[in-house]
Structure formats: structure tokens, C-alpha cells
Amino acid sequence: MSKIVVALGGNALGESPKEQLELVKGTAQSLVGLINKGYEVVISHGNGPQVGSINLGLNYAAEHEQGPPFPFPECGAMSQAYIGYQMQESLLNELHTLGINKEVVTLVTQVEVASDDPAFQHPTKPIGLFYTEEQADKMRQEKGYTFMEDAGRGYRRVVPSPQPINIVELDSIETLIKHGTLVIAAGGGGIPVVKEQSGRYQGVDAVIDKDKTSALLAAHLQSDQLIILTAVDYVYINYGKDNQEGLGDVTVDDMKGYIADNQFAKGSMLPKVEAALQFIEKNPKGSVLITSLSGLNDALEGKIGTRITK
């Protein structure tokens, strides 16, 4: 049985819980279709827009004396649970429609990072909504947030994005898989924690890139394929220009060359490509498919999508 880790992008899940639920319903059909064909599927997802909105909303309430402020680890846990709930519901309904008796579980997942990771000094991970330059400047002055222009779509707040080292609940994920459970894990890249000298874990204010955590998870599970679902059908070179080109079948060396040419935006496509290369480096027989959430079925048939192999 081929094993696939599917990573859904947070931006591809829409801008509201209602929109997200509709998108997830369509995705559930494709994912359950994979299961029906005999694939073993593990699901992860992003949470950049969602965790930013949760943090912004709760801290807005705190500023107006309507509740306490919430740090990022707790906001990350909330986003894992609410996105996971919608996915569980949609997947269970689709499984029921096809007469497949299978449990679906969302596992709130912690991911270890290094306390001295340079990322803590250089925030790069976009979270929350898109803002105009004027709105971003105002929030910089009022709240001290750091903002970055995101692929020509506007300005987004950025937070530290340390490298994932270890998935704390990996054994539990493997146990659930062995018992035939469809697992949703490492949502939003996992809740970032550091391991203190005492051996205790402590949550930190950051958002781990979900594709890099998904690549680590896929490598540990010795998956045959990592599928990264985002908002576009392909990985593009010369993105947004007249000579824009969608990449089809490419090799690791091809992608390293494009990285050297600065073809991929740091806040969007570059982490996905880097995650793909990290997975194949750890699992040379594996492959990576990067495509859109809406185009998954076509991509699985080879009609669209970027496929990366050793």
C-alpha cells in the first residue's frame, strides 16, 4: 500500500470558516478517493491566515478588557482543532457516503525547534490577513508588528519560523496509522516548543512552516509521496511576468538551479520547494507533487501540477 502525506495550504483554505468548510468538502472527496483506491493517507495543513486571525481577534478583545491576551502556542492549538474539526467532519461524511468504515482523528501536535534558531531574530513567516502598505505602516507604529510584502498580493504580518527538529507525538501518529485510522496531524506546522535542559517542553511564539514539518513527517513515515496543495496549479518560474511558465516534471537539481536564480518568493513558494527537496533528500525514492487544492484530481491524473523527483 503506497503511503501519501498530503499538506493543505492555509491560504488555500479560504478566508473564513464558512468558505473553508466549503473548500474542505471538495477536498475531502479527492482525499477519500485516494483512500478508496488503496492509498494510505496522512493529512497535515497550514494555518497562517487562521492563526493570525485568532491571535488578532483575541488580543483585540484583551485590549478592550474583554478577556486575557493569548500567546501563539495556544492560538496554534486552537487553529489545529478548528481546522481539524472541519476536515474530520467532511472526511467522515464522505467516507460514510462511500460505505467506508474508517475513523478520522485530529491529533494536536507539538513540534520541537531549537531555542537558538536564527529565525527568532529574523521573522519571515506570513500570518493573518493581507493589508495595504498604509494599513501595515499604521500597525507597525501602533503594535510593533513586523510586516513583509507577500508576492505582490499586499502586506502581511511576519513572525519567526524556526526549523522543525522533532515531532513530539510521532509515535502516537504511527500507532493510529497502524490501527487503520485516518490521521490529521502537525497542523500549522505543529505547535512550536523548545526542550529545556530539564527535559520539559515549553511553547514559544512562532509559526513553523507547515510544508517543512510535513516533509519531516513524511520522511519519518517513509512515505512514497508528499503532496503539497496550495492556491496555484503549478510551481511557476518568472511568476507574474509575461514569460511566466508552470513547471511539470522536474528534478531536484532543476529546482536547486531555480532557487539559485531567485525564482521563488520567500514568503510563499520558496518554503514549499525547500520542503520538497528536504523530503527527497531524506527519502530519495519518494516524489513530491505541488499543485492547487481545486486541481488535485487533475494533478493525480498527470494533467497539471509540478512533480519533483530525485
Catalytically active residues are: 10-11, 125, 210, 272
**Residue 221: CB partners within 8 Å, gap ≥ 6?**
3, 5, 42, 173, 174, 177
HSE-CB of 63 using CA atoms within 13 angstroms: 8
C-alpha cell at 200: 520539559
| Residue 115: Cβ within 10 Å count | 13
* Three-state DSSP class for residue 128: strand
Question: CB of 4 within 8 A of CB of 225?
Answer: yes
Question: CB of 4 within 8 A of CB of 41?
Answer: yes
Q: What is the DSSP string of 16-69?
A: SHHHHHHHHHHHHHHHHHHHHTT-EEEEEE--HHHHHHHHHHHHHHHHTTSS--
Closest by CA to 249, choosing from 310, 303, 306, 287, is 306
CA dist 234 and 299 (Å) reads 10
Which amino acid makes up residue 145?
Answer: Y
CA dist 87 and 185 (Å) reads 11
Q: How many residues does the chain have?
A: 310
Closest by CA to 79, choosing from 192, 248, 227, is 192
